């Protein structure tokens, strides 16, 4: 079995729009870092990638695009790429359907 893992800081700058507090709420400080962490498992027959994001959620179109890119890079089917979100309401707003019109101009 081959195992590879990663952990990448994905914390936004202070002043980013936050998910879960209304459409125009921006961060004023940072208590903890946010991460994307993942593991790739390969038993010689099957390879899978699992990634967890410290985010409230991601748009379906973004997930589909990211899964396709990861699958192409690793040479695996898209069904072998799995994502999850920790559902933090104190992370950046990453869902376009929840974005206020004023945010779209930026």
pTM: 0.84
CA–CA gap between residue 78 and residue 36 (Å, rounded): 19
Helix residue ranges, H only, the chain = 60-74, 101-104
CA distances from 58 to 16, 37, 45, 96, 99 (A): 16, 15, 30, 9, 12
- List the chain domain ranges: 2-104
Quick check: 7 pLDDT over 80? yes
Can you tell me the mean pLDDT for 88-96? 87
Answer whether 97's CB lies under 8 Å from 57's CB: no
pLDDT tens for each residue of 30-60:
999 999 999 999 999 999 999 999 999 999 9
Mean confidence (pLDDT) of the chain: 90
């Amino acid at each position: 079995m081959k195992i590879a893992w990663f952990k990448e800081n994905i914390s936004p700058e202070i002043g980013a729009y936050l998910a879960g507090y209304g459409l125009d709420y921006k961060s004023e400080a940072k208590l903890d870092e946010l991460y994307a962490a993942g593991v790739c498992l390969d038993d010689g027959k099957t390879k899978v990638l699992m990634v967890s994001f410290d985010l409230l959620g991601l748009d379906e179109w973004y997930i589909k695009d990211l899964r396709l890119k990861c699958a192409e890079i690793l040479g695996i089917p898209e069904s072998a790429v799995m994502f999850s979100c920790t559902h933090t309401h104190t992370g950046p707003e990453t869902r376009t359907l929840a974005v206020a019109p004023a945010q779209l101009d930026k």
